[in-house]
Amino acid sequence: MNKICLFTDGNAASNETHFFDNFSEAYSKIHWDVFDAIYWNNFPDGRRKRNSEVLVFNHIETAYFKRIAVNNNLMFEKLRRILEERKWKGLNKDFVLELNHGFFF
C-alpha cells in the first residue's frame, strides 16, 4: 500500500493523542494491554487508547478490507444490500461483513 498514512496511539480527536508517520514507531507506542483487555475502562484513559486509528489520505482500496463490523441489524442489511448490488466487487477474498455489538460503546 503506497499511500500517505498517519497512525495514532489513541482517538485522533483527543489532545492527548500522538501521531506517527512511521508504522514501526506507532506499533511500539500502541497500548496493547488496553486492546488485549476485555474492558478498556479498567485502564487510565482506556477509551481514548482503545480507539487508536490509521488515517489514510484520500482513498483506501477495498481489496485491503478484511472485515467491516456494524452494531445493528439495520446497518448490516443496508451494507449487505449495497455489497450485493456491487457483487462484492474488489473486496478481499477473505472479507467478512460482521454484526458485532462488542466493538461499539
Which residue, 49, 29, 53, is CA-closest to 39? 49
* Separation between Cα atoms, residue 32 and residue 39, nearest integer Å: 13
- pLDDT tier, 1 (very low <50, low <70, confident <90, very high otherwise): very low
Q: Is the pLDDT of residue 73 over 90?
A: yes
Half-sphere exposure of 5 (CA within 13 A, CB side): 12
pTM of the model: 0.70
**pLDDT 10s digits, 20-60:** 999 999 999 999 999 899 888 899 999 999 999 999 988 88
**51, 2, 93, 78 alpha-carbon torsion, rounded to 10°:** 50
| Average pLDDT over every residue of 10-14 | 95
